[in-house]
Amino acid sequence: MMRSQNKPTQLFSGIFCFFWTTALLTAVCSGLSHLPFAVRYGLVQTDARTTIWHYYAAAVLLMLGTYAVIIWWCGGRKEFSFTRCGAIRTVLLVLLSLSGLGLMLHNLPDVALFGRAYTAIKFCHLFSALLLVPVLLMQGALWLAGRPSSLKACITKTRRPSA
């Protein structure tokens, strides 16, 4: 007698989602603390702790993002499809990653980015982060309202949305 195997309803485990959410919230909160209004109004101290937490969270997000791409490419590409919101989040996260790596290169002693190039990288990082927050809030609100179907893209009968 053959045992039937149920197909997974989601691509990533709960522990992955927990670490992803924790790292993303840490990166957003520590990144927003770099903005001038946070220091001006006394919301954060002017020490380097927020920068360290931001770098740790970015490193964890890069590691988890690489893992997610590998898992989706190898195991979930045929089974799961992107939703509109998932595609928007992916584009924003790629822009954040690339601009964040550019900003980290600026910290190296032999690399100097100045003028328009540095400003473009800085604004790309800032606006991607500031656009990601409302997208995540909208997705969370729709999920809590019980309407995740409003985030789905055109899906065939054999493919399920991944998020």
Does the residue 63 lie in any domain?
A: yes
Domain boundary among 65, 80, 95: 80
pTM over 0.85: no
Compute the distance between CA of residue 98 and CA of residue 113 in angstroms, rounded to an integer. Answer: 15
In a domain, 88, yes or no: yes
SS3 70: helix
Q: Letter for the amino acid at 156?
A: T
Tens digit of each residue's pLDDT (9 = 90 or more) over 93-130: 899 989 988 888 877 777 777 788 888 988 899 899 88
Q: Which residue has the tokens 């990601």?
A: 132
Segment 135-144 shows an average pLDDT of 81
Same domain, 125 and 76: no
Q: Identify whether the C-beta of residue 70 lies closer than 8 Å to the C-beta of residue 99.
A: no
For residue 60, the one-letter residue type is: V
pLDDT at 156: 46
Please write the tens of the pLDDT for every residue from 43-94. 766 666 777 888 899 899 989 988 888 887 887 767 767 777 778 888 998 9
Q: What is the domain count for the chain?
A: 2
**CA 104 distance to own-chain centroid:** 17
In angstroms, the CA 87 to CA 64 distance is 17
Q: How far is CA 11 from the centre of its chain?
A: 16
67 with 85, same domain: the answer is no
Asked if residue 56 and residue 109 are part of one domain, the reply reads no
Decide: helix, strand or coil at residue 33.
coil
Q: What pLDDT is attached to residue 155?
A: 46
If one compares 101 and 40, the residue with the highest pLDDT of the two is 101
Q: Which residues pair with 161 in a beta bridge?
A: 81
pLDDT of residue 26 exceeding 90, the answer is no
The pLDDT assigned to 160 comes to 57
* Residue range(s) defining the domain that contains residue 126: 81-148
- Pairing mode of beta strands 160-161, 80-81: parallel
Last residue of a domain, one of 55, 80, 105: 80
pLDDT at 154: 42
Query: Among 8-12, 59-63, 91-95, 135-139, which is the least confidently predicted range?
Result: 8-12
Of 47, 65, 80, the domain-final residue: 80
Would residue 103 count as lying in a domain? yes
